[in-house]
Amino acid sequence: MTDPILTVSNLTIAVGEGARRRTLVEDLSFTLAKGETLCIAGESGSGKSLTSLAIMGLLPKPGPRVEGGAIRLGGEDLTRLGEGQMRRVRGDRIAMIFQEPMTSLNPVLTIGRQLAEAIEAHRSIAPGEARRLALEALRAVRIPEAERRLGQYPHELSGGMRQRVMIAMALALEPDVLIADEPTTALDVTIQAQVLGLLKEIQAERGTAVILITHDMGVVAEMADRVVVMRSGRAVESGAVAPLFAAPHEDYTKGLLAAVPRMGDGAKQAVPAAATAPVAEIRDLTVRFPLKGGLFGRLQAEVHAVAGISFDIPARQTLSLVGESGCGKSTTAKAIAGLVAYGGRLSVDGRPAENLAASARKALRRDVQMIFQDPFASLDPRMRAGDLVAEPLVIHAIGSPAERRERVAALFERVGLSADAMRRYPHQFSGGQRQRICIARALALRPKLIIADESVSALDVSVQRRVLDLLKELQAEFGIAYLFISHDMAVVENISDRVAVMYLGQIVEMGTRAQVFGNPRHSYTRRLIEAVPVPDPARRRTAFPRLSGEIPSAVRKAGDSPVRLALADLGEGHLVAAE
């Protein structure tokens, strides 16, 4: 290994004073060499992101502060620099990519203006030269039609494209160190693979040193040279990636690795029982959203979000809808739950769901409940947890107050929460605990169908495993049917009985778990499976997908029929760049 370009020595970050002082990161040390990728892994709250913010000099004020130790970039201790001096370092010698590009980009400035501003902040150059460098930066991250993108705004780009813009901005001045804080967590699996491959290519070309912060051990296995595993602000284990994965010393590291969903684990599970009568029957489901414009707001076009799909969901079974963002998964879920207008036919427990009176619609909704992706946004922060779970019982006038309290207490116990937790507010729980509250709330009415819309994608891997295990236990106990919506193919392979693959509002492949994962017929399905990172450094891929082209638009002129996709319509060459 060459001499380190970045050295973090005995870093301690604390918040508060006196009796209220709390240590957030304690005595953390590591080094980073030129061209090396160091992954800092661990669950939420472990101190990963705080460490990166301290290196960048971006700890919020007032709040957490560097209380001890040193951060040396070359021979310069960054902890001793003032804000003006750090401004010259930040972006020039050391740069950062954040998790959510939409919150990092200015929505009222074009991509070109934002890139040029970042360059002009560190170089005394003419605007024309700054634009030329901005264009080069976009081309370096393989953005198609780079010149046209300079004049676009962030909302006009896909999530994967926005993340490429953030990478271009971070690398425009060719920094020595790049910090990537969960850069792919919010991305679909195929886009994640492209972004990771892009980082590797650029690193090989420029020799950039990379700190990659993640809780995804599959990404760690794909990318890392060395790993630092953090827990509660301390490094519990560190070392080269291959030996650490092969023989971890600490129980915490072993637990993280054991919790990672692996492709193939689903095949080891028991064969699902024979299909029972369907809880939900969906026939020719269609959802379109109008696009109006002009002086009088006339209908000009429609987004064909869901384009005539059909499937059944049997009792006691899990049907998973998979696909990339924008394929229509969540819109399908909302239509089944009665939250958006739709065409076609839908029945729940044998009862048609169309043209119902308000009282009949309310009764039908008792049988269909939803668990959303973000549990914190799903819970009223002003209500206690027990009242949140009891609210559906109140709305449907089920039981006396005493009976409701008894049922809520039983639900809390069933999802692994104590009765004392009923008196607490949502902000007093962890993310995994909040999702358990959402599950208890969904169970309160004893529904026949629960729709879980990306319900574990925002959770740490160990919490995710516990929630998935809980969902399976509840299904076995109460006979619930699940519609499980996800873009994580490894999770889907572990929980599903049947799988439907969606693309551009249509189902392009459907079958049992064994059929879809064991012998996928569609090129799109194969690419989704191939893009899943394998949590084993010995099986690290040598080449990442480099797809090109534009995703076909779901927008059609008003009155037009949707384009029907056949198995051959998504060939290997054209396959969904998803951008």
Counting runs of H as helices and runs of E as strands, what totals does the chain give?
21, 21
Strand order in the sheet with 177-181: 94-97, 177-181, 209-214, 37-41, 226-231, 234-240
Alpha carbon distance 268, 260 (integer Å):
15
Amino acid 571: pLDDT? 41
The tally of domains found in the chain comes to 2
Q: Which two tokens stand for residue 214?
A: 């993640």
**Is 447 a domain residue?**
no
Amino acid 570: pLDDT? 47
Query: In the predicted model, is pLDDT for residue 272 greater than 90?
Result: no
Q: Are residues 306 and 192 in the same domain?
A: no
Alpha carbon distance 269, 512 (integer Å):
13
Query: In the predicted model, is pLDDT for residue 400 greater than 90?
Result: yes
Q: What is the pLDDT of residues 24-37, one digit of tens each?
A: 999 999 999 999 99
Q: Are residues 49 and 141 in the same domain?
A: yes
Residue type, 134: A
Query: In the predicted model, is pLDDT for residue 569 greater than 60?
Result: no
Q: Are residues 339 and 220 in the same domain?
A: no
Q: What are phi and psi of 410, to 5 degrees?
A: -65, -40
Q: In this predicted structure, which of 200-209, 312-321, 363-372, 548-557 has the lowest mean pLDDT?
A: 548-557
Between strands 234-240 and 318-322, the pairing is: unpaired
Cβ proximity of 503 and 570 under 8 Å: yes
Amino acid 562: pLDDT? 64
Q: What is the pLDDT of residues 459-518, one digit of tens each?
A: 777 778 888 888 898 898 888 999 999 878 888 998 999 999 998 889 999 999 999 999
**Is 101 a domain residue?**
yes
Alpha carbon distance 214, 302 (integer Å):
39
In this structure, what DSSP letter does residue 145 have? T
Q: Which two tokens stand for residue 407?
A: 């049922």
Q: In this predicted structure, which of 97-111, 121-135, 260-274, 306-320 has the lowest mean pLDDT?
A: 260-274
Query: Quick one: 117 exposed, middle or buried, by C-beta within 10 A (0-12, 13-18, 19+)?
Result: middle
- Could you give the residue ranges of the DSSP H alpha helices within 341-482? 358-365, 375-378, 385-395, 401-414, 431-443, 461-478
Query: In the predicted model, is pLDDT for residue 542 greater than 90?
Result: no
Q: Residue 131: how many CA atoms within 13 Å on its side-chain side?
A: 11
Between strands 449-453 and 481-486, the pairing is: parallel
Alpha carbon distance 193, 544 (integer Å):
6
Please give the model's pTM, rounded to 2 decimal places. 0.78
- Please write down the HEC assignment for all residues of 312-328: EEECCCEEEEECCCCCC
Q: Are residues 297 and 212 in the same domain?
A: no
- Greater pLDDT, 100 or 320: 320
Rg, the chain, Cα only: 25
Q: What are phi and psi of 453, to 5 degrees?
A: -95, 100
CATH number reported for the structural domain that contains residue 69 in this entry: 3.40.50.300
- Please write down the HEC assignment for all residues of 78-142: HHHCCHHHHHHHECCCEEEECCCHHHHCCCCCCHHHHHHHHHHCCCCCCHHHHHHHHHHHHHHCC
**Is 417 a domain residue?**
no
Amino acid 435: pLDDT? 86
Alpha carbon distance 483, 329 (integer Å):
10
**Boundary of a domain, candidates 204, 231, 259:** 259
Q: What is the pLDDT of residues 138-184, one digit of tens each?
A: 888 778 788 888 999 988 886 667 888 888 888 888 889 999 988 87
**Boundary of a domain, candidates 243, 259, 275:** 259
**Boundary of a domain, candidates 259, 290, 319:** 259
**Is 370 a domain residue?**
no
- Quick one: CA torsion of 461, 466, 471, 477, rounded to 10 degrees? 160
Element (H, E) at 190: helix 189-206
Q: Are residues 316 and 238 in the same domain?
A: no
Amino acid 444: pLDDT? 92
Q: Which two tokens stand for residue 562?
A: 């949707």
Q: How many CB atoms lie within 10 A of CB 249?
A: 13
Q: What is the average pLDDT across 283-293?
A: 87
**Is 525 a domain residue?**
yes
Residue type, 436: R
**Is 449 a domain residue?**
no
Residues 6+ apart with CB under 8 A from 152: 110, 111
Q: Are residues 225 and 311 in the same domain?
A: no
**Is 422 a domain residue?**
no
**Is 448 a domain residue?**
no
Cβ proximity of 493 and 512 under 8 Å: no
Query: In the predicted model, is pLDDT for residue 549 greater than 60?
Result: no
Amino acid 491: pLDDT? 87
Range of the domain at 151: 4-259
Q: Are residues 239 and 144 in the same domain?
A: yes
Q: Are residues 61 and 169 in the same domain?
A: yes
Q: What is the pLDDT of residues 481-495, one digit of tens each?
A: 999 998 788 889 989
Amino acid 24: pLDDT? 92
Between strands 4-15 and 22-33, the pairing is: antiparallel
Q: What is the average pLDDT across 66-83?
A: 92
Q: In this predicted structure, which of 184-188, 193-197, 271-275 has the lowest mean pLDDT?
A: 271-275
Q: Are residues 279 and 325 in the same domain?
A: yes
Query: In the predicted model, is pLDDT for residue 70 greater than 70?
Result: yes
Query: In the predicted model, is pLDDT for residue 573 greater than 50?
Result: no
Q: Are residues 63 and 181 in the same domain?
A: yes
Residues 6+ apart with CB under 8 A from 509: 500, 501, 516, 520, 521, 522, 524, 525
Q: Are residues 253 and 300 in the same domain?
A: no
Q: Which of 229, 270, 227, 271 is nearest to 252 (CA)?
A: 229
Query: In the predicted model, is pLDDT for residue 575 greater than 70?
Result: no
Alpha carbon distance 51, 25 (integer Å):
7
Alpha carbon distance 11, 71 (integer Å):
8
- Beta partners for 486? 322
Q: Are residues 350 and 312 in the same domain?
A: yes
